[in-house]
Amino acid sequence: MLDDRLPLNARTFTDERVSPSESFVEQANVTADDLSAFSGREGWKRAAAFLDWEEEFDRVFEESSGEFFAGGKLNAAANCLDRHLDERKNQRALVWEGQRGECRTYTYLELFREVNAVAAGLRSLGVGQGDAVTLYMPVVPELPVTMLACARLGAPHVVVFAGFSAEALATRMREAESAVLVTCDGYYRRGDAVSLRNRAETACVSLPDDVTTVVVDHLGTATETPERNSHRYNRLRETHAGERVDPVVRESAEELFYIYTSGTTGTPKRVTHTTGGYLSHAAWTSHAVLDIKPADTYWCPADIGWITGHTYVVYGPLALGTTVLLSEAGIDGLSRTKPWELIERHAVDIFYTSPTAVRTFVKAGSEYPDSFDLSSLRLLGTVGEPINLRAWRWLYEHVGGERCPVVDTWWQTETGGHLITTVPGVHEMKPGSAGVPLPGIEAAVLDRDGRPAEAGSGGYLVITEPWPGMARELSRGERWAARDDEAVPDLSAFEWAYPTEDGAVVDETGYITVLGRVDDVLNVSGHRFGTMELESAIVDIEGVAEAAVVDAVREGQRVMDAYVSLTDDATETEMMRETIFDTIEGTIGEFARPARVVFTPELPKTSSGKIVRRVLTDVGSGEEVSDTSAVANPEVVGEIRSSLNIE
């Protein structure tokens, strides 16, 4: 039942509207007229016009193949670098702040040279068009440099978030058939050195073929490596310094990168983003939604390992020729004052962050932003989860000084870039609601039978027209129409449709409030987890009979809990609990560690044996369990409550 899945109880709504300030509207990149000029599929030419094409495309959309800008040819790195050299070679492209107070900057010319040297280095190791190169690094400048070097060579990159375990890295490399890995010796995490090198080596030995590795010396601990297939990044780039690599011209629909994300199966799923469609979408939305201008300093603290980092740290902003601030420490690794200090010091114009981060700021207190000069800011944005009213208002007032619009951007790894949001110089904001579909995007909120849901009542969010940033895997619609599960409504009335697997509510004015996932994917602290992935890791442990991983809301933040029942011969010991934590860290990574592991003799189930997760979410959130009518064994609820010491 959809109603069971919609986390409506966790939300409050408002009809309040906030108009963008005049000072913002006057200078906005996109006006209401621009939006009305953009219509239908042909409108996407407007997005493609943000790029330089080696060969113009003949068709905006090729129905038979589902390709955007068919016939068009381009190179993504050339669009992010080469074409900017005439106008802004001495403008800063990247400003990087390290964990230990280091600061490195690269002008567009310097970045261009760096990328060429690394591309030449990779080429000397045999990397060519179509070869998947895995990148496993924290946010250091070498990461975007290597991404662009791969793009230059037409080699798809696979960036794996540095918090993933060796096993998770190996799974992705195996699936991508990647034989080259660029990693680094390690990084600091809350003051402790973490060795990435060891994890990378563990991953490589489990792979069937020899992997060529390139190691960035970030901590200064990389030693001369006698191994055959291992190279030092700095040596490689010095050897090839001054070399030029002609950008490999790619077809629009050819892959730019793969990124793995959590789906509803036990294994991570590959998402392929294309060169022309994806990059057009990234550049156009960076312009229209994030209002990026070349003279801006732009900061999005998302880790580059996730899609937000790909689209709105690297590709979109660099395609537009702006200055990008990179912070090695993610928002959760920064002190209470640091975000504001960085904004003041670098005179940041645009700050694009997550609701989780904003809630952390709220908790720390407004005295922190209030004591810095944040007047350089012009626009604020959030992504990743619904933003609650309180966090929205706080951001708008204390960070934006009621002068900066806030864009609440809804999108996904699969969508490549923004689909639903307000356009900041045009639309009124409705706090807590993402906004309206961007021009060219057709979105609908449907009931289970595929009919439009009534205004104000929950339904399934479905996109009914293709868009350029969509993952290549979505081009063929049959796959979705044929699906029969609770997360997908009846789509038979549509020729093509993409079920987002999010629940949403649309109001009378067309504003869409996204409620959260209706499938078995959890969004916790800006990370996306497949419950199946976590649960199958837990049930592999000897002594575990069953497991359910669910989310809960505690102290205003979304957390993840694991409920575990053991086999008769196993006992609920602290050691077992530690084994469960260690297993999750080992198979996925430390960032996936649940907040709690709760032992229970049974999991709440329907009479047909399906786990009723909503009950566990309610209990974990300290709420009354609203309805146990579907639960065949309601007595377990009381048992779980008592083991959690909830009366």
Task: List interacting residues with ligand WTA (CB under 6 A).
Answer: 261, 307-308, 383-386, 408-413, 434, 500, 502, 514, 516-517, 523, 528
With residue 59 as reference, give the H or E element that holds it.
strand 59-62
We find the least distance from the C-beta atom of residue 309 to ligand WTA, in angstroms, to be: 10
Query: Judged by CB, which is closer to ligand WTA: 502, or 561?
Result: 502
We find the least distance from the C-beta atom of residue 382 to ligand WTA, in angstroms, to be: 6
We find the least distance from the C-beta atom of residue 502 to ligand WTA, in angstroms, to be: 5
Using CA atoms, how far apart are residues 583 and 537, in angstroms rounded to an integer? 7
Q: Supply 312's token pair.
A: 């709105």
We find the least distance from the C-beta atom of residue 408 to ligand WTA, in angstroms, to be: 5
Q: Strand 557-566 vs strand 544-554: parallel, antiparallel, or unpaired?
A: antiparallel
With residue 436 as reference, give the H or E element that holds it.
strand 436-437
Query: Judged by CB, which is closer to ligand WTA: 284, or 410?
Result: 410
We find the least distance from the C-beta atom of residue 386 to ligand WTA, in angstroms, to be: 4
We find the least distance from the C-beta atom of residue 125 to ligand WTA, in angstroms, to be: 31
Query: Judged by CB, which is closer to ligand WTA: 361, or 410?
Result: 410
Query: Judged by CB, which is closer to ligand WTA: 50, or 460?
Result: 460
We find the least distance from the C-beta atom of residue 463 to ligand WTA, in angstroms, to be: 11
Using CA atoms, how far apart are residues 540 and 545, in angstroms rounded to an integer? 9
Query: Judged by CB, which is closer to ligand WTA: 376, or 557?
Result: 557
Using CA atoms, how far apart are residues 325 and 139, in angstroms rounded to an integer? 11
Query: Judged by CB, which is closer to ligand WTA: 384, or 439?
Result: 384
* Residue indicated by tokens 């892959």: 255
Q: How many CB atoms lie within 10 A of CB 448?
A: 15
Q: CB of 501 within 8 A of CB of 533?
A: no
* Residue indicated by tokens 């040819």: 73
We find the least distance from the C-beta atom of residue 448 to ligand WTA, in angstroms, to be: 19
Q: CB of 355 within 8 A of CB of 388?
A: yes
Q: Supply 406's token pair.
A: 């806030």
We find the least distance from the C-beta atom of residue 312 to ligand WTA, in angstroms, to be: 9
We find the least distance from the C-beta atom of residue 536 to ligand WTA, in angstroms, to be: 20
Q: Where are the beta strands (DSSP E) in 196-310?
A: 212-216, 230-232, 250-251, 255-261, 269-274, 297-299
Amino acid at 121: G
Q: CB of 537 within 8 A of CB of 462?
A: no
Q: Which residue sits closest to ligand WTA, CB atoms considered? A: 413
Query: Judged by CB, which is closer to ligand WTA: 69, or 306?
Result: 306
We find the least distance from the C-beta atom of residue 524 to ligand WTA, in angstroms, to be: 11
Region label for 35, one of left (φ > 0), alpha (ψ between -120 and 50) or beta (otherwise)? alpha
Q: Supply 546's token pair.
A: 């069953």
Torsion of CA 501, 507, 513, 517, to 10 degrees: -20
We find the least distance from the C-beta atom of residue 10 to ligand WTA, in angstroms, to be: 12
Query: Judged by CB, which is closer to ligand WTA: 186, or 435?
Result: 435
Using CA atoms, how far apart are residues 423 and 286, in angstroms rounded to an integer? 11
- In 3D space, the residue among 70, 44, 59, 51 whose CA is nearest the CA of residue 465 turns out to be 44
Query: Judged by CB, which is closer to ligand WTA: 70, or 426?
Result: 426
Query: Judged by CB, which is closer to ligand WTA: 237, or 528?
Result: 528
Burial of 631 (0-12, 13-18, 19+ CB in 10 A): buried
Taking the mean position of all CA atoms in its chain, how far away is CA 268? 14
We find the least distance from the C-beta atom of residue 517 to ligand WTA, in angstroms, to be: 5
Query: Judged by CB, which is closer to ligand WTA: 400, or 516?
Result: 516
Query: Judged by CB, which is closer to ligand WTA: 272, or 412?
Result: 412
Query: Judged by CB, which is closer to ligand WTA: 327, or 388?
Result: 388
Close Cβ partners of 45 (under 8 Å, ≥ 6 residues apart) = 60
Query: Judged by CB, which is closer to ligand WTA: 342, or 471?
Result: 471
Amino acid at 298: Y
We find the least distance from the C-beta atom of residue 562 to ligand WTA, in angstroms, to be: 21
CB < 8 Å & 24+ apart, contacts of 217-224: 217/184, 217/185, 218/137, 218/138, 218/140, 218/142, 218/184, 218/185, 218/186, 218/187, 219/184, 219/185, 219/186, 219/187, 219/188, 219/193, 220/185, 221/185, 221/186, 221/193, 221/195, 222/184, 222/185, 222/197
